[in-house]
Amino acid sequence: MNGNALPAPHRDPAGRTVGWWRMLRIAALLLAATLSPAAWTQPTRRAVATQVCLTAMRTLPRFALLSGLLSLVLVHIVVVTAQSYGLTQFALGTVIRVLVVELLPLAAALFIALSGSLAGTPPVDDEEAPDGAAGIPRALLAQVVARAVAVVALATLAGGIALALAYLGVYGFTPWGVAGFTRTVGQVFDPIVLMALGLKTGLFAAAVATIPAACDADGARAGDPTLHGTVRLFAVLVAVEILSLVVEFF
């Protein structure tokens, strides 16, 4: 079945709305099942642990390298530009705000989303029967948890790397810039920014974890499931980013 043969509910606005609603409902069910203590049986814990380890092994080193390179390039560009305009006092704040607050959480979410959609769900358990928690398959539950953990872990790790590279880029290998660096970090991360960063990362993690799985689990949907879920995921990520910017700057 190709895209032109999509059923009516996915072509007209009402059908799209129904599709979005169904996806959000399944995503909410997945979240609820994940947070339900009854779902965390021993086999589930083992499956989740295996999936978390697999996802972390597959993504953490690559993303650390990628985010390090990205941070290095951006820090260099911002610092050199600020020096040429005589605005070096703003370079560090700009780098922290751009990288740690804005770019890296989004990059982590996109990285996990893309790696998940390209690699598919790895087999972690032979048992395909429902786990008993709202009828969610154990492998799906493990995938949801592993993706959420991976997004938070990648964003945290990349933020730490970016902070270290920003310090080195601005002050070099000297301990005498720690006081100024700490002060700048304190100025950038006021309570609203800190809260927005936490909420944004959490929403990114929830979206990346649940939306592709919800689209996969939506049996009534037609067409390419992976592409369809990825498009919806990107739309949600953009919406969360815009919401975060609104909270931070307005």
Partner 1 sequence: MKKPTLFIPHAEFKAAALVVAVAALIVAFVLYVLTARGFFEDTQRLVLVTDNSEGIRPGMDLGFSGFPIGRVNRVELSDDGNVRILVDVPVKDARWLRESSVFTLERSLVGDTRLRAFSAQLTDPPLADGAERSVLRGDAGEQIPQVMAAAKTLLENLERMTAPEAPLATALGHVQTVTGRMQGRYGALGGLLGSDENAQKLIATLDRSNTLLAKADARVFGKGGVMDDSQAAVAELHGLLRDARDSLKKADAILADAQAIAADARGATTDLGALRSEVEASLRKAGRLIDEVNRKWPFARDTEVKLP
Report residue 23 CA to chain centroid gap. Answer: 18
The minimum distance between CB 236 and partner 1, in angstroms, equals 23
Among 18, 66, 185, 222, binds partner 1 (CB under 8 A): 185
* Residue number, 56 or 168, with CB nearest to partner 1: 56
Among 65, 69, 190, 246, binds partner 1 (CB under 8 A): 190
d(CA 180, CA 14): 55
When asked if residue 96 is in the footprint of partner 1 (CB under 8 A), the reply is no
When asked if residue 248 is in the footprint of partner 1 (CB under 8 A), the reply is no
The minimum distance between CB 198 and partner 1, in angstroms, equals 8
Site for partner 1 in 21-80 (CB under 8 A): 45-46, 48-50, 52-54, 56
The minimum distance between CB 142 and partner 1, in angstroms, equals 10
Among 87, 164, 220, 235, binds partner 1 (CB under 8 A): 87
Q: Position of tokens 């304190």?
A: 186
* Residue number, 156 or 226, with CB nearest to partner 1: 156
Looking at the chain, list the stretches that DSSP marks H as alpha helix, in order from N- to C-terminal side. Answer: 13-35, 42-84, 91-95, 104-119, 138-171, 178-188, 191-217, 225-249
On whether the CB atoms of residues 51 and 124 are closer than 8 A, the answer is yes
- Residues β-bridged to residue 137: 130
Among 28, 65, 80, 194, binds partner 1 (CB under 8 A): 194
d(CA 163, CA 172): 13
How many chain residues are in contact with partner 1, going by CB under 8 A? Answer: 32
Token pair in block for residue 87: 């605005």
On whether the CB atoms of residues 111 and 59 are closer than 8 A, the answer is yes
The minimum distance between CB 161 and partner 1, in angstroms, equals 11
Report residue 17 CA to chain centroid gap. Answer: 24
Report residue 117 CA to chain centroid gap. Answer: 13
The minimum distance between CB 188 and partner 1, in angstroms, equals 9
Among residues 120, 108, 102, the alpha carbon closest in space to that of 66 is found at: 108
Among residues 123, 110, 98, the alpha carbon closest in space to that of 63 is found at: 110
CA distances, 188 to each of 13, 99, 165, 232 (Å): 42, 12, 17, 32
The minimum distance between CB 160 and partner 1, in angstroms, equals 6
Token pair in block for residue 208: 């990346």
Site for partner 1 in 112-151 (CB under 8 A): 122-126, 149
The minimum distance between CB 42 and partner 1, in angstroms, equals 9
When asked if residue 159 is in the footprint of partner 1 (CB under 8 A), the reply is yes
* Residue number, 192 or 231, with CB nearest to partner 1: 192
The residues that touch partner 1, with contacts defined as CB under 8 A, are 45-46, 48-50, 52-54, 56, 87, 89-90, 122-126, 149, 152-153, 156-157, 159-160, 182-183, 185-187, 189-190, 194
